[in-house]
Amino acid sequence: MRIALAQTPGFQEPEENLAVVADKAREAAGRGASLVVFPEASSQAFGTGRLDTRASGLDGEFPRGVLGLSRELGITIVVGIFRPADTVERGEKTINRVSNTALVAASGEAIVYDKIHTFDALGNRESDTVRPGTELVIFSHEGVRVGVAVCFDVRYPEQFRELARRGAELVVLPTSWAAGEGKLEQWRVLTRARALDSGAFILAADHALPDGPTKGPTGIGHSVAVAPNGTVLAEAGEGPELLVVDIDPGDAAEQRRELPIL
């Protein structure tokens, strides 16, 4: 199976971001990839303004564009979007929260996973503006079971182990990883650890490192594909890049036979 990790810059406007997704999806398909994973928050980068003003249902321009690309190219596209969720009170503020969603566009059909573990850490309160999801999601791609997680989920090994118990051989991980001291090393350790915890491939796509200062967790690059035994198959640099990797999903079953930790 040939997969691609699209390490893209993130912009404010969904139309601009859709153009980036379209360009990289076409390049991935042209290079023979049947599955391409984009970062979290691909429809609107964090730190570029209120999320609720640009969030949309699956009938919005950005999701419809991605679904159309999937249908046109005959590939599966995984991409981070925001959808309207609920309204909450935070002090004297009324906030329209969104769902931080990984949209799986498979031959034009939509599957959605809403990020379960919000980034309420290191001075951030994502749950103030994002409603946490509650359901694990697994989909089928070329007969292979694929689990879905988003960014901060990677710090919760039980989620990846449960996806594996439910049959996931790969886990796709759209991400917008916050910069900071030690964060690259943590990213590398966590993605490899989750592969070893689950005996599954981890296919993690991060945003490219921005050129200048940012207001949010907008990515540090280093998108990575990790084998079920923890081996790094490929890792991107800091800038925009399309990482194309060939994997054998059967390696997951082999790893679990050798180390039956589930």
Catalytic residues: 40, 115, 151
- In the chain the beta strands, taken as DSSP E runs, fall at 2-7, 35-37, 76-90, 93-106, 109-114, 138-141, 144-148, 170-175, 201-206, 224-226, 232-235, 241-246
Separation CA 22–CA 232 (nearest Å): 27
* Cβ–Cβ under 8 Å, residues 115 and 132: yes
Side-chain half-sphere exposure of 5, counting CA atoms within 13 A: 31
Amino acid at residue number 141: H
Amino acid at residue number 66: V
**Under DSSP, is residue 199 helix (H, G, I), strand (E, B) or coil?**
coil
- Cβ contacts of residue 157 below 8 Å, gap of 6+? 193, 194, 197, 198
Which residues are 37's β-sheet partners? 5, 78
Q: Kindly state the helix (H) or strand (E) to which residue 32 belongs, with its residue range.
A: none
Place of tokens 């912009």: 11
